């Protein structure tokens, strides 16, 4: 069984008119938690509370089963990297990075020096050690802030959009470094991001927040494929969300869109309710719709339907298409598959979906 080493129970925090409410989650050893949520939903406030910079009015925080809710930030020894880096302007880069280490005195100076060299080398900032922050670019400042946060191998590393100012290549290198540190040193990481790919690539756990609350948490791919509410589905930019009803026909559940006289099923997914006529949303990810060239023979398969390609958008990793049938469908294909089918605007296609890939949103 996985061992929980960091636990947050029922946190409530207030600032001005804003409230974080009922925040509960836990981190197992080596868990990498990503937090996503719209701007202003309380992500930074949550990290600041975990770091000890804000006091909760309710709830508790445990580290290795010790209640640390009232501990000072210094006693917690967590690493914290902010999006806007917050470096000390009168200290040079080296002094900024070493600042927390000298305050903590948890490690021998020689060890810290070795680590400083290793981290700044890996981050490509070793040539900047004597510069003051005002002479650094935004991306360089972010890397210095990250280096300061990870220098002392904190038990929990809190990252608030630490890679947002970096170019794609440097961001990729920093993600690889975080991934490596996470695995080699077993840091528990809680990382706020607005980048969905980053959340999927790095996270072993994903938390989605809205208006001061956690609205869904779980394995990142599960959350993306099985959003529990329309808010989460739309926030994660799920495509092909259709309003309809559940129909119970002889004990078998179907999704029905009566407006377009379209029925899909039988539904394999375990629903929380089997209520006939209950209003729900159906969601099919663009990448889970299969495409074949349309034969002229009429279709008899319920879960295959006709459409015509309306728009083709070529990305570096895949090809996105909008196809029109009785409604518009977003479809994503691998570049190879798109070339094999030789699809263009106007191509007539059959779209189909395996029932295990349809998801019903009941809220
Ligand atoms: N000291 C404060 N007094 C009043 N309101 C505050 C205070 N600190 C934060 N807030 C408000 O709390 C809400 C949450 O802020 P927070 O910075 O945590 O959002 P966020 O999710 O990190 O947003 P972003 O993605 O834009 O960084 C915001 O509406 C913010 O204006």
DSSP 128: G
Among the candidates 186, 205, 230, a domain finishes at: 230
Question: 39 CA distance to ligand 1 centroid (A)?
Answer: 8
Q: What is the pLDDT of residue 300?
A: 47
pLDDT digits (tens, 9 = 90+) for 296-335: 554 446 678 889 999 999 998 899 999 998 889 999 999 9
Q: Determine the Cα–Cα distance for residues 28 and 302; give it in Å rounded to an integer.
A: 44
For ligand 1, atom 9: residue with the closest CA: 15
Residues 205 and 288 occupy one common structural domain:
no
Flag whether 102 is in a domain: yes
Q: Determine the Cα–Cα distance for residues 114 and 226; give it in Å rounded to an integer.
A: 45
Among the candidates 191, 209, 230, a domain finishes at: 230
What share of residues in the chain are helix, strand, coil (percent, to 5)?
Answer: 30, 35, 35
Flag whether 35 is in a domain: yes
Residues 86 and 207 occupy one common structural domain:
yes
For residue 81, the enclosing domain spans 4-230
Residue 289 has pLDDT above 80, yes or no: yes
Residues 173 and 277 occupy one common structural domain:
no
pLDDT band at 170 (very low <50, low <70, confident <90, very high): confident
- What is the number of structural domains in the chain? 3
Q: What is the pLDDT of residue 184?
A: 83
Residue 343, classified by CB atoms within 10 Å of its CB into exposed (0-12), middle (13-18) or buried (19+), is buried
Q: What is the pLDDT of residue 168?
A: 87
Residues 226 and 246 occupy one common structural domain:
no
DSSP 223: H
Which residues lie closer than 8 Å to 272 by C-beta, 6 or more apart? 362
Residues 246 and 127 occupy one common structural domain:
no
Q: What is the pLDDT of residue 21?
A: 96
Residue 109 has pLDDT above 90, yes or no: no
Our CA dihedral for 68, 69, 74, 80, rounded to 10 degrees, sits at 100
Which residues lie closer than 8 Å to 228 by C-beta, 6 or more apart? 215, 216, 361, 362, 363
For ligand 1, atom 24: residue with the closest CA: 39
Residue 9 has pLDDT above 60, yes or no: yes
Mutate to test the pocket of ligand 1, among 34, 38, 45, 55 (most ligand atoms within 8 A of CB): 45
Residues 128 and 277 occupy one common structural domain:
no
Mean pLDDT of the chain: 88
Residues 270 and 302 occupy one common structural domain:
no
Give the strand pairing for 79-81 and 156-160: parallel
Flag whether 139 is in a domain: yes
Flag whether 80 is in a domain: yes
Flag whether 52 is in a domain: yes
pLDDT digits (tens, 9 = 90+) for 213-271: 999 999 999 999 999 999 999 999 888 999 998 888 888 888 888 776 777 877 877 77
Residues 211 and 260 occupy one common structural domain:
no
Q: Give residue ranges with CB within 6 A of ligand 1.
A: 15-16, 18, 37, 39-45
Among the listed residues 326, 288, 291, the one whose alpha carbon sits nearest the alpha carbon of residue 312: 291
Residues 96 and 222 occupy one common structural domain:
yes
pLDDT digits (tens, 9 = 90+) for 273-284: 666 778 899 999
Report the pLDDT averaged over residues 343-360: 90
Question: 40 CA distance to ligand 1 centroid (A)?
Answer: 5
Angle between helical axes of 109-122 and 138-150 (0-180°, round to 10): 140
Show the tokens assigned to 244. Answer: 């309809």
Q: What is the pLDDT of residue 190?
A: 95
Provide the CB-side half-sphere exposure for 160 (13 A, CA).
20
* Ligand 1: nearest atom to the Cα of 48: 18
Residues 52 and 157 occupy one common structural domain:
yes
Q: Determine the Cα–Cα distance for residues 83 and 139; give it in Å rounded to an integer.
A: 10
Specify the DSSP element, H or E, that contains 261.
Answer: none
Flag whether 50 is in a domain: yes
Cβ contact 28:219 at 8 Å: no
Residues 37 and 170 occupy one common structural domain:
yes
Q: Which CATH number belongs to the domain containing residue 299 in this structure? A: 2.40.50.100
Q: Determine the Cα–Cα distance for residues 259 and 208; give it in Å rounded to an integer.
A: 32
Question: 142 CA distance to ligand 1 centroid (A)?
Answer: 20
Q: What is the pLDDT of residue 298?
A: 44
Q: Which CATH number belongs to the domain containing residue 84 in this structure? A: 3.40.50.300
Q: What is the pLDDT of residue 241?
A: 93
Among the candidates 230, 249, 264, a domain finishes at: 230
pLDDT band at 35 (very low <50, low <70, confident <90, very high): very high
Q: What is the pLDDT of residue 356?
A: 83
Flag whether 235 is in a domain: no
In 10 A of CB 9, how many CB atoms? 16
pLDDT digits (tens, 9 = 90+) for 178-199: 888 888 887 889 999 999 989 9
Question: 18 CA distance to ligand 1 centroid (A)?
Answer: 8
Q: What is the pLDDT of residue 94?
A: 92
Cβ contact 273:335 at 8 Å: no
Q: What is the pLDDT of residue 274?
A: 63
Residue 37 has pLDDT above 80, yes or no: yes
pLDDT digits (tens, 9 = 90+) for 47-99: 999 999 999 999 999 999 999 999 999 899 899 988 776 888 899 999 999 98
Which residues lie closer than 8 Å to 76 by C-beta, 6 or more apart? 51, 52, 63, 68, 156
Mean pLDDT check: name the lowest of 19-23, 83-87, 129-133, 166-170: 83-87
Question: 37 CA distance to ligand 1 centroid (A)?
Answer: 12
Mean pLDDT check: name the lowest of 6-20, 115-129, 136-150, 248-262: 248-262
Report the pLDDT averaged over residues 346-356: 89
Residues 271 and 311 occupy one common structural domain:
no
Q: What is the pLDDT of residue 302?
A: 63
pLDDT band at 345 (very low <50, low <70, confident <90, very high): very high
């Amino acid at each position: 069984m996985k061992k929980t080493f960091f636990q947050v129970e029922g946190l409530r925090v207030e600032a001005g008119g804003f409230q974080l409410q009922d925040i509960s989650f836990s981190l197992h050893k080596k868990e990498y938690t990503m937090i996503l949520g719209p701007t202003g939903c309380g992500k930074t406030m949550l990290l600041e509370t975990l770091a000890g910079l804000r006091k909760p009015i309710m709830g508790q925080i445990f580290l290795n089963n010790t209640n640390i809710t009232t501990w000072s930030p210094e006693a917690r020894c967590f690493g914290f990297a902010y999006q806007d880096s917050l470096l000390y302007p009168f200290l040079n880069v080296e002094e900024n990075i070493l600042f927390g280490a000298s305050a903590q005195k948890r490690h021998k100076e020689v060890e810290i020096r070795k680590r400083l060299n290793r981290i700044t080398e890996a981050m490509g900032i070793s040539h900047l050690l004597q510069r003051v922050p005002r002479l650094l670019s935004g991306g360089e400042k972010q890397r210095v802030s990250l280096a300061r946060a990870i220098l002392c191998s904190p038990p929990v590393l809190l990252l608030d959009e630490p890679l947002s100012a970096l170019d794609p290549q440097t961001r990729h290198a920093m993600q690889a470094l975080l991934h490596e540190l996470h695995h080699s040193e077993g840091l528990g990481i809680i990382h706020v991001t607005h980048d969905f790919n980053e959340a999927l690539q790095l996270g072993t756990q994903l938390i989605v927040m809205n208006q001061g609350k956690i609205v869904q948490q779980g394995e990142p791919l599960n959350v993306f494929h099985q959003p529990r509410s329309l808010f989460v589905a739309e926030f994660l930019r799920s495509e092909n969300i259709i309003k309809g009803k559940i129909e119970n026909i002889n004990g078998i559940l179907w999704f029905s869109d009566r407006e377009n006289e379209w029925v899909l099923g039988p539904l394999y997914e375990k629903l929380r309710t089997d209520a006939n006529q209950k209003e729900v949303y159906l969601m099919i990810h663009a990448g889970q719709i299969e495409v074949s060239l349309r034969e002229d023979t009429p279709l008899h398969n319920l879960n295959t339907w006709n459409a015509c390609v309306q728009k083709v958008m070529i990305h570096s990793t895949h090809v996105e298409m909008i196809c029109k049938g009785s409604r518009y469908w977003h479809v994503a294909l691998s570049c190879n598959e798109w070339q094999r089918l030789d699809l263009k605007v106007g191509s007539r296609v059959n779209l189909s979906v395996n029932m295990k890939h349809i998801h019903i949103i009941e809220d």
